[in-house]
């Protein structure tokens, strides 16, 4: 076999795996969203999601460095945002960087990672508490200024260094 054939075969195998991974992650994310819709469809469920489930998940993600997410040594907004966005990258959520400096980073997510739609803002915000908790545990503060579920065309997040 020619080296080019090996390279093409390897590239095809990797592309196929990557496509299957994308499909698996998308299905898993949407399953999480369906579970959250079911459990967060009432005030008690949203309270438990916001105060218990998301906080425990955020603690475990940072404490056990799940997806290699770890508190950055520098404490800059850029480093905090980079750590937090490892979760979005894993879930294959597109990320746009609107602006960035050491104190403040503005990120745009054009879609919901778990499939929430317009009108599901209460359960979305309860679910998104995990993101706020992760950023807090990384040493920053997350401010969400726009959400897709509240009628905006995207999610707009500001990560600030504290």
Q: What is the pLDDT of residue 2?
A: 61
Below-70 pLDDT ranges, the chain: 1-2
* CATH code (residue 41): 3.30.1380
Other CB atoms within 10 Å distance of the CB of residue 5: 9
What are 100-147's pLDDT values in tens digits?
999 999 999 999 999 999 999 999 999 999 999 999 999 999 999 999
Q: What is the pLDDT of residue 43?
A: 94
76-113 burial: b if 16+ Cβ within 10 Å, else e: bbbbbbbbbbbbbebebbeeeeeebeeebbbbebeebb
Alpha helices in the chain (DSSP H): 3-39, 43-48, 54-63, 77-90, 121-137
Split into its structural domains, the chain has a count of: 1
Residues with Cβ within 8 Å of 23's Cβ and at least 6 positions away in sequence, in order, are none
Q: How far is CA 48 from the centre of its chain?
A: 20
Record the tokens describing residue 119, joined without a space.
């009108």
Q: What is the pLDDT of residue 104?
A: 97
Record the tokens describing residue 12, joined without a space.
């095809």
Look up the domain containing 58 and give its range: 3-161
**C-alpha pair distances (Å), 56 with each of 61, 131, 134:** 9, 12, 10
Are the C-beta atoms of residues 111 and 94 closer than 8 Å to each other?
Answer: yes
Q: What is the pLDDT of residue 5?
A: 85
Residues with Cβ within 8 Å of 116's Cβ and at least 6 positions away in sequence, in order, are 33, 37, 123, 124, 127, 148, 149
pTM: 0.88
Q: What is the pLDDT of residue 7?
A: 85
């Amino acid at each position: 076999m020619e080296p080019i054939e090996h390279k093409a075969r390897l590239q095809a195998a990797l592309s196929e795996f990557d496509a299957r991974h994308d499909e698996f992650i998308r299905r898993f994310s949407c399953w999480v969203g369906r579970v959250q819709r079911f459990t967060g469809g009432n005030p008690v469920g949203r309270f438990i999601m916001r105060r218990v489930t998301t906080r425990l998940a955020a603690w475990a993600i940072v404490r056990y460095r799940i997806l290699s997410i770890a508190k950055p040594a520098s404490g800059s907004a850029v480093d905090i945002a980079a750590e937090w966005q490892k979760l979005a990258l894993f879930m294959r959520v597109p990320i746009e960087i609107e602006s960035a400096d050491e104190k403040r980073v503005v990120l745009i997510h054009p879609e919901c990672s778990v499939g929430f739609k317009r009108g599901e803002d209460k359960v979305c915000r309860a679910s998104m508490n995990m993101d706020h908790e992760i950023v807090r545990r990384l040493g920053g503060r997350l401010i969400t200024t726009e959400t897709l579920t509240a009628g905006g065309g995207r999610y707009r997040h500001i990560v600030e260094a504290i």
